[in-house]
Amino acid sequence: MTAEELWDLSGIPGEYDAWAFGDDADGLAELVRSGKKRATSSAYPVYEAEDEELPTPGEYSVILNEKDEAVCIIRTRFVTVLPYREITEEMAAKEGEGDLSLAYWQQVHQPFFTEELKAIGKDFSEDMKVVFEEFALVFPKCGEAPAKQQKSGALYIVRHGRTDWNDQKRLQGQTDIPLNDTGRAMAKEAGERYADIPFDICFSSPLCRAKETAELLLQGRDVPIRFDDRLKEMTFGEYEGVAQSFSIPNCPVNEFFFHPAEYTEAVPGGENVNELLGRTGSFYKEEVVPLLREGKNVLIVGHGAMNLSFICNVWELPTEDFWRTGIENCKLLRLL
């Protein structure tokens, strides 16, 4: 089966890349298909030498075997760049190879990286940067044979443009702060950059910085915009407006940023992480999923923490990984 044929079977809309693992393509592809392999490592200097872009969270890849036959489809979740020496036991286990130990990972990867680097005139060292990409198997599911799936819509999310409070590093929460000139320019530029993506409907937070971003991004396009309170930013209660909270000793709201899974008791007037995940999760199931099943392409315009909680719900991520994806102002991320 070709990559194009498997992609058509999956019913996933949009674009994809197709590639095989550089060493033991058949064996590693099978580990991915079985669900055992959930990550892969690459030498960062090779990306630099070939002027190649790093993998991006949300993008899809068709994994090929040695005969260039399609085996399965994955979606990138997280991309981390770090020195070879900082790869941990937990990271090595996610690669699903051998006995899952760090020692085995090093035994296999050091000679592989050495040969790759030699081809571009560089030497291996433990300070060499590694691109560690974590992914999820999306088609076919573990143990299932590929079967034709009904076409579904695509889901995109974007964070509002910059505001004065962003620049001042103040907690905005649900305080209704407007875009500044930089934020408006960002939203207009995003509209031009993503003009070719066929959105059918947009849902936005009603807070003015998100509302204006949606309107500027979709300016001149016949795309309806609907507003829903469940897409508002997380509320930080009496701490909204506080600047540089990380520099404040024992500031209780910082628990959310450092240990999100443990932020189960909100600051006065605020909400905790489970309340945030609950409201964005209900919105996704009640409003978005039915439209995706109809084949509609949906755009969500929201906020930093709200968007990440939405991603956790869609990608079924543990709360511990709340902040790992990251989402820049006015940069579109495809979730499905």
Closest CA to 84 of 133, 23, 132, 22: 132
- Per-residue pLDDT of 111-137, as tens digits, reads 999 999 999 999 999 999 999 999 999
On whether residue 145 sits in a domain, the answer given is no
On whether residue 144 sits in a domain, the answer given is no
Distance (Å, rounded) from C-alpha 26 to C-alpha 112?
A: 16
- The answer on 191 and 79 residing in a single domain is no
- The answer on 121 and 164 residing in a single domain is no
Task: Tell me, yes or no, if 233 is annotated catalytic.
Answer: yes
Q: How many domains does the chain have?
A: 2
pLDDT at 149 over 80: no
Q: What is the mean pLDDT of residues 8-17?
A: 91
- The answer on 164 and 101 residing in a single domain is no
Q: Cα 73 vs. chain centroid, distance in angstroms?
A: 16
With cut-offs at 50, 70 and 90, classify the pLDDT of residue 161.
very high
Q: What per-residue confidence (pLDDT) applies to 68?
A: 95
Q: What is the CATH number of the domain that holds 38?
A: 3.10.400.10
Distance (Å, rounded) from C-alpha 203 to C-alpha 296?
A: 13
Out of 146-150, 230-234, 294-298, 320-324, pick the least confident. 146-150
- Per-residue pLDDT of 253-276, as tens digits, reads 999 999 999 999 999 999 999 999
Instruction: Choose, from 97, 116, 233, 240, the residue flagged as catalytic.
Output: 233
CB of 217 closer than 8 Å to CB of 187: yes
Q: What is the mean pLDDT of residues 291-302?
A: 96
Instruction: Choose, from 116, 160, 271, 303, the residue flagged as catalytic.
Output: 160
Please state whether the peptide bond connecting residue 140 to the residue before it is cis, i.e. omega within 30 degrees of 0. yes
- The answer on 240 and 296 residing in a single domain is yes
- Per-residue pLDDT of 73-105, as tens digits, reads 999 999 999 999 999 999 999 999 999 999 999
pLDDT at 305 over 80: yes
What is the domain range of residue 186? 155-334
Q: What per-residue confidence (pLDDT) applies to 269?
A: 96
- The answer on 102 and 243 residing in a single domain is no
With cut-offs at 50, 70 and 90, classify the pLDDT of residue 166.
very high
> To the nearest whole number, what is the mean pLDDT of the chain?
95
Closest CA to 106 of 90, 117, 92, 96: 92
- Of 139, 165, 193, which residue is a domain's last? 139
Q: What per-residue confidence (pLDDT) applies to 95?
A: 96
pTM of the model: 0.85
Q: Who has greater pLDDT, 334 or 144?
A: 334
- The answer on 188 and 107 residing in a single domain is no
Task: Tell me, yes or no, if 328 is annotated catalytic.
Answer: no
Q: What per-residue confidence (pLDDT) applies to 23?
A: 80
Closest CA to 216 of 194, 193, 184: 184
- The answer on 313 and 190 residing in a single domain is yes
- The answer on 162 and 112 residing in a single domain is no
For 316, counting Cβ atoms within 10 Å of its Cβ (0-12 exposed, 13-18 middle, 19+ buried), the class is: exposed
What sign for the dihedral angle of Cα 222, 298, 138, 257?
positive
pLDDT at 60 over 90: yes
- The answer on 209 and 301 residing in a single domain is yes
pLDDT at 213 over 80: yes
Q: What per-residue confidence (pLDDT) applies to 202?
A: 98
On whether residue 91 sits in a domain, the answer given is yes
CB of 205 closer than 8 Å to CB of 182: no
On whether residue 173 sits in a domain, the answer given is yes
Amino acid of residue 140: P
